[in-house]
Amino acid sequence: MPLILNLQRAIRYSFSDGTPWRAGVVALVVGTILNLINQGDAVFGAAPINWTKIVLTYLVPYAVSTYGAVSYRMSRPLT
């Protein structure tokens, strides 16, 4: 299958069938735990908050969860 068609398929899968919702829930849970571990002092006021780290700590689990869902669907035959 041509590259552009695979890319279109991957983008479609990343925004369909509840993938964004599930990835968001994973990001919220995992990101919160990781932020408390990595920046607990900052969150509770003992140190300055690094907003870049907070955003990335939520973005990475979202991206990993989305990648997992899309790669699974891409491995399945087209119906």
Q: How confident is the model at residue 71 (pLDDT cuts 50, 70, 90)?
A: very high
pLDDT at 8 over 80: yes
Mean pLDDT of 38-42: 86
pLDDT at 79 over 80: no
pTM (2 decimals)? 0.86
Q: What confidence score (pLDDT) does residue 56 get?
A: 95
pLDDT at 40 over 90: no
Write down the number of H helices and E strands in the chain: 3, 0
- Cα 71 to Cα 14, 17, 52, 64: the distances in Å are 10, 14, 28, 10
